[in-house]
Amino acid sequence: EDKVVQSPLSLVVHEGDTVTLNCSYEVTNFRSLLWYKQEKKAPTFLFMLTSSGIEKKSGRLSSILDKKELFSILNITATQTGDSAVYLCAVTTNAGKSTFGDGTTLTVKP
């Protein structure tokens, strides 16, 4: 059975801190790994990773995939209160199915 595990479950930091969120997975026929940000609504797309070792970057957010060790990290630098959300990791297979982790709840305090 496909499995995605995220850690930590929750995290509380202060504005300006840097955070690292982890996602490990076990799936058959891996295709891609996606990161989403979910506030009090539907998830919004952040990154899609398909190749090992290539960092994707968008502003203060960056992510990288390790297909040998089967994990990905999402980094957020200089955190802001607006970064407070649940961050979801999902792994998709060649058959088109996506498996999500339970998310990391990030709280950024002023």
Partner 1 sequence: GAGVSQSPRYKVAKRGQDVALRCDPISGHVSLFWYQQALGQGPEFLTYFQNEAQLDKSGLPSDRFFAERPEGSVSTLKIQRTQQEDSAVYLCASGRSGAFGADTQYFGPGTRLTVL
Residue (of 68, 63, 58) closest to 25 by Cα position: 68
The stretch near partner 1 (CB under 8 A) out of 51-59, 67-75, 76-84, 89-97 is: 89-97
Per rule CB under 8 A, is residue 107 in the interface with partner 1?
no
The stretch near partner 1 (CB under 8 A) out of 12-20, 41-49, 51-59, 67-75 is: 41-49
Among 37, 65, 92, 108, binds partner 1 (CB under 8 A): 92
In angstroms, give the least distance from the CB of 47 to partner 1: 9
In this structure, the dihedral spanned by the alpha carbons of residues 63, 45, 103 and 110, taken in order and rounded to 10 degrees, is 80
My answer on whether omega of the bond before 110 falls inside 30° of 0, hence cis, is no
Per rule CB under 8 A, is residue 76 in the interface with partner 1?
no
In angstroms, give the least distance from the CB of 68 to partner 1: 20
In angstroms, give the least distance from the CB of 103 to partner 1: 5
Q: Specify whether the CB–CB gap between 101 and 88 falls below 8 A.
A: yes
Which residue reads 């960056």 in tokens? 62
- Which pairing describes strands 85-93 and 30-38: parallel, antiparallel, or unpaired? antiparallel
